[in-house]
Amino acid sequence: MAVIFLTGFMGAGKTTVGQLLAEQYGYRFIDTDQEIERLHQCSVRTIFQEKGEAQFREIETEVLQKETTSKTVLSTGGGIVLSKANREWLSKEGIWVFLHVTPEEIYQRVKDDPHRPLLDGDPQERIQSLFEQRLSLYNEAPIVIPTSEFTPKEVTVEVMNRIAHLI
């Protein structure tokens, strides 16, 4: 009766693959960003603007903890790993998967999408710098899945293969 946490950089495919994975298992699908937007009735971008990143992170942690229930695929926002407490939660409370993607591929996937406030300005520079800051945190996950050269369906199958013994 597992909960599966999908983590990784913006554009890794956490939201996309999470939905496919939940369909395959017949599990509930929760995306922390979508849940925050539903609870607060406004966009992630607006929350960043009006409340600031620190408060967004507090809300994100609350959602992570509250929605950690059995038979759930929980797709997180890319910054969930910034908090040590969140990383401990991910490692203790469920199956923690890191969807890996290269900075070049991230840029291709997110360049036309205005929804990510942390990529405002020069997105290529922002991606490179955040990637370098965060890679070691994502790599604390026990299960690492490359995604850059695979379709969401292929990534989903690979996640299922890699966690089959834990489900």
Ligand X SMILES: Nc1ncnc2c1ncn2[C@@H]1O[C@H](COP(=O)(O)OP(=O)(O)O)[C@@H](O)[C@H]1O
Binding site for ligand X (CB under 6 A): 8, 10-16, 109, 147, 150-152, 155
Q: Which amino acid is at 118?
A: L
Check whether 141 is labelled as a binding-site residue: no
DSSP states along 15-61: HHHHHHHHHHHT-EEEEHHHHHHHHHTS-HHHHHHHH-HHHHHHHHH
The least CB distance from residue 116 to ligand S3P, in Å, is 4
- What, of ligand X, ligand S3P, Mg ion, none, does residue 155 touch, CB below 5 to 8 Å by kind? ligand X
Q: Which residues contact 89 (CB under 8 A, 6 or more apart)?
A: 64, 65, 68
Tell me the Cα Rg of the chain.
15
- Which one of residues 18, 79, 94, 103 is an interface residue with ligand S3P (CB under 6 A)? 79
58 strand-pairing partners: none
Q: For the window 31-50, what string marks contact with ligand S3P as x by the rule CB under 6 A?
A: --x----------x------
- Binding residues for ligand S3P, per CB under 6 A? 10, 14-15, 33, 44, 77-79, 116-118
